[in-house]
C-alpha cells in the first residue's frame, strides 16, 4: 500500500476531522529513553554526513482487542470459527488505525516537510514507513540524538538513539517508532548452540529396527540424531503426503547461512530416503546467502527441519543483520512475511534476546505482528533461550530479577524449551523459561500456570512476575544434537536444537491435516493447553538454574522449564484428527 492509498486515507481522515485545531508539534514528551548507553555498546559519535535510516511507526489499532478476539476464535477447538483463518485483507481491517490517528500523523509529518511520496503503508495502515530519512531529519522528528554505536564483543555498528520523544498529541496514537532505542546485538541474539567437544560420531541406523532400540536402551548417554528423535517422538512411520501445499519455514539472522553439501551428507547419514533434500533461500531486507561460509545455527536448523519432516519443502529466510542503520531484524522479517499472500504453515526461529533489551512498546508491537501470523493460520515457534532463568547475577537497578527472553515471552507464539536423555526424558539444565515482565498471562494458560504455583508455593517469590505469561509451552531434545558442519560431525546443545525438532513434528501434523482436506493448526497454544495435552510427554524432573539459583523445577503438569512436555506425534495426530 503506497502513495495513492495513503493519500486516500489521509483525505478521508481530513474530511472527518478537518475542523479540529492543529496540535502543537513542538510539545515533545519522552516516549522511551535509557538511563545510559546500554551495556557493551559505545558511541562513535555522529554518523557520517548523508547517513539515512528507514523509520517505522506503529499506530495503535482503532479496535484494540479485535485481533485478539479473532485469533482466539480461529485457534480454539470447539469454537464455531475454529480453523477459519483470516486473509491478509481481513487481518488488515482488524488492525486499522482510527482516521484521527492518520490525520494527526499526516499533519505532524507535513509540519516537518516529509513528502507523502517517501511514506508507505502496510498492514492496514497499522504501520507507516518513512524511507531514506536523514539522521538530522530523524533527530528533528523525534527530539532524538542518533549516533553510531559499536558493540564491544562483536565490533558491529548500528545507528541508534538512547532516547526519543513524540509530540504529546501523538502518544495515544503511535505505539512505537523503530529503529530508535532497541540496542540488542543482531549477532548476539541467536541462541548460540554450544559445541560439545569429543562427541562421538553417531552411527547411521534404521529407527525401525529392534537393534536400534536395544542399542539405545543399553547406553547411559547418546547423541540425538533424526533416527533417535523420530523414534522418541513417535513419527517413524509417517510419510508426508501434502508436500505440494505444506511448507516449513526457518528464520535466519546474523549472516548465518546453511550449506547444501552438508545437508546432503547429513541426510545420507541419518535419513537416507532424504539424501536428495534441498531448501529454498529467500533473502529479506538485504540478507545475504553464502553457502561457502556456513554457520552452525543455520546448518542445525535446516538439517533438523529436513531430518524430521522430509520431503516437506523447506524455505530459509536470510534476514539482514540490522547494522549500519538498517531495519531491525525481527521487524524486517515479520513485515516481509505478513506481506506475502501465502505463508508457510509452520515457522521455526532459534533466536532471542533478553526481554529487557527491548523497549516495552517495541516488544509489544512486534508481538502484535506475530499475532497477525497466527490469525492467518501460521504456527510460529521460538526457542526459549539457553541460560535457564538468566545468565550471571541478574542484578538490575540493585535488585536480583530473573531474566525472561523475547520473543519467547510473547503470548502469541509457541515457545520451545529443552530436554535431554530418555526413559525418562528430563529437563535440560540450559532450558530458558520463566515469566514475562511485559505481557500479562493469556487466558489459555491460566489453569496450567495456577496449578504450577500451587505446586511450588512461595519459591523465588519476588524474582518474577506471577501474573504474567509463562514460557515455554512445549519442549524437545536440546542436548548432544549431532550435525554436519563443513563435512565434519559436531555435537551441539541448546534450545536452538529443540525449536526445529518441534517445528518438524508440527509440520507433519499440518501435512496430515492438509492431506485430509482440512485447515492447518495455526496458532497452537489454545489447542496445546487444551485437548492436545494428552498427546504430550510430561517432563517431571530437572530444573533450569540461573541467576545464582537452582531455577524452576520441572513438575507434574506445566512448568517454566519444559512447558507441557515433549511431543508424541501419533497421539497428537489422533487428537488433530478429532478437529474439524
Which residues contribute to the annotated binding site for Ca(2+)? 538-539, 557, 559
Calculate the alpha carbon distances from 389 to 41, 145, 403, 429, 440 in Å: 24, 34, 6, 10, 18
- 281 bridge partner residues: 316
Residue ranges of the binding site: 538-539, 557, 559
Tell which residue, 439, 578, 470, has the closest CA to residue 516. Answer: 578
**Class of residue 102 by CB neighbours under 10 A (exposed 0-12, middle 13-18, buried 19+):** buried
Residue 174: its H or E element: strand 174-178
Contact (CB, 8 A) for 246 and 311: no
Helical spans, DSSP H, in 387-546: 446-456, 495-515, 525-528
**Distance in angstroms (rounded) separating the CA atoms of residues 276 and 313:** 12
**Interatomic CA distance for residues 348 and 501, integer angstroms:** 9
DSSP letter, residue 134: E
The residues, ordered by sequence, that sit 6+ positions from 530 with a Cβ below 8 Å of its Cβ are 76, 77, 444
Reference 559, options 348, 382, 384, 358; nearest CA is 384
CB-based contacts of 577, cutoff 8 Å, min separation 6: 512, 516
| Contact of 570 with 538, CB cutoff 8 Å | no
Which triple of cell numbers denotes residue 175?
505505539
The whole-angstrom separation of Cα 97 and Cα 47 is 34
Amino acid at each position: 500500500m503506497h502513495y495513492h492509498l495513503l493519500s486516500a486515507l489521509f483525505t478521508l481522515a481530513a474530511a472527518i476531522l478537518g475542523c479540529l485545531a492543529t496540535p502543537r508539534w513542538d510539545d515533545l514528551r519522552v516516549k522511551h529513553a535509557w538511563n545510559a548507553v546500554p551495556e557493551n555498546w559505545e558511541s562513535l559519535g555522529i554518523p557520517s554526513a548523508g547517513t539515512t535510516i528507514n523509520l517505522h511507526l506503529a499506530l495503535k489499532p482503532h479496535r484494540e482487542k479485535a485481533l485478539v478476539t479473532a485469533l482466539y476464535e480461529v485457534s480454539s477447538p470447539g469454537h464455531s470459527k475454529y480453523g477459519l483463518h483470516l486473509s491478509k485483507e481481513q487481518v488488515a481491517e482488524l488492525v486499522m488505525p482510527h482516521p484521527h490517528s492518520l490525520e494527526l500523523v499526516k499533519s505532524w509529518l507535513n509540519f516537518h516537510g516529509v513528502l507523502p511520496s517517501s511514506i508507505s503503508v502496510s498492514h492496514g495502515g497499522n504501520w507507516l514507513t518513512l524511507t531514506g530519512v536523514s539522521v538530522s531529519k530523524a533527530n528533528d522528528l523525534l527530539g532524538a540524538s542518533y549516533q553510531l554505536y559499536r558493540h564491544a564483543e562483536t565490533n558491529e555498528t548500528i545507528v541508534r538513539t538512547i532516547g526519543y520523544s513524540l509530540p504529546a498529541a501523538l502518544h495515544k496514537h503511535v505505539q512505537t517508532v523503530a529503529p530508535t532505542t532497541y540496542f540488542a546485538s543482531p549477532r548476539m541474539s541467536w541462541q548460540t548452540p554450544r559445541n560439545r567437544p569429543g562427541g562421538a560420531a553417531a552411527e547411521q541406523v534404521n529407527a525401525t529396527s529392534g537393534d536400534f532400540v536395544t542399542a539405545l536402551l543399553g547406553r547411559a548417554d547418546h547423541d540425538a540424531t533424526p533416527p533417535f528423535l523420530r523414534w522418541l517422538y513417535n513419527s517413524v512411520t509417517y510419510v508426508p503426503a501434502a508436500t505440494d501445499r505444506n511448507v516449513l519455514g526457518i528464520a535466519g539472522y546474523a549472516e548465518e547461512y546453511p550449506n547444501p553439501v552438508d545437508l546432503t551428507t547429513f541426510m545420507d547419514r541419518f535419513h537416507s530416503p532424504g539424501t536428495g533434500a534441498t531448501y529454498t533461500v529467500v533473502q529479506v531486507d538485504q540478507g545475504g546467502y553464502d553457502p561457502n561460509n556456513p554457520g552452525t545455527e543455520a546448518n542445525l536448523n535446516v538439517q533438523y527441519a529436513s531430518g524430521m519432516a522430509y520431503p516437506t519443502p523447506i524455505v530459509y529466510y536470510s534476514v539482514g543483520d540490522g547494522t549500519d542503520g538498517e531495519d531491525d531484524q525481527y521487524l524486517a522479517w515479520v513485515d516481509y512475511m505478513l506481506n506475502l499472500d501465502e505463508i508457510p504453515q509452520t515457522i521455526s526461529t532459534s533466536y532471542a534476546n533478553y526481554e529487557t533489551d527491548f523497549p516495552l512498546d517495541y516488544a509489544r508491537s512486534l508481538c502484535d505482528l506475530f499475532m497477525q501470523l497466527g490469525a492467518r493460520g501460521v504456527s510460529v515457534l521460538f526457542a526459549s533461550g539457553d541460560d535457564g532463568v538468566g545468565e550471571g547475577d541478574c542484578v538490575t537497578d540493585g535488585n536480583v530479577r530473573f531474566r525472561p527472553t523475547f520473543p519467547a515471552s510473547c503470548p502469541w507464539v509457541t515457545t520451545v524449551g529443552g530436554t535431554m536423555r530418555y526413559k525418562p526424558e528430563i529437563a535440560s539444565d540450559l532450558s530458558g523459561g520463566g515469566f514475562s515482565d511485559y505481557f500479562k498471562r493469556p487466558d489459555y494458560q491460566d489453569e496450567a500456570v495456577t496449578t504450577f504455583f500451587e505446586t511450588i508455593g512461595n519459591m523465588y517469590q519476588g524474582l518474577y512476575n506471577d501474573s504474567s505469561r509463562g514460557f515455554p509451552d512445549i519442549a524437545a531434545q536440546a542436548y548432544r544434537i549431532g550435525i554436519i558442519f563443513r563435512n565434519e560431525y559436531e555435537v551441539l546443545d541448546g534450545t536452538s536444537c529443540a525449536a526445529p525438532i518441534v517445528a518438524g513434528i508440527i509440520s507433519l501434523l499440518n501435512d496430515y491435516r492438509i492431506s485430509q482436506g482440512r485447515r492447518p493448526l495455526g496458532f497452537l497454544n489454545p489447542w496445546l493447553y487444551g485437548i492436545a495435552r494428552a498427546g504430550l510427554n510430561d517432563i517431571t524432573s530437572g530444573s533450569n538454574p540461573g541467576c545464582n539459583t537452582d531455577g524452576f523445577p520441572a513438575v507434574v503438569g506445566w512448568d517454566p522449564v519444559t512447558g507441557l512436555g515433549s511431543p508424541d506425534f501419533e497421539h497428537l495426530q489422533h487428537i488433530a484428527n478429532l478437529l474439524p
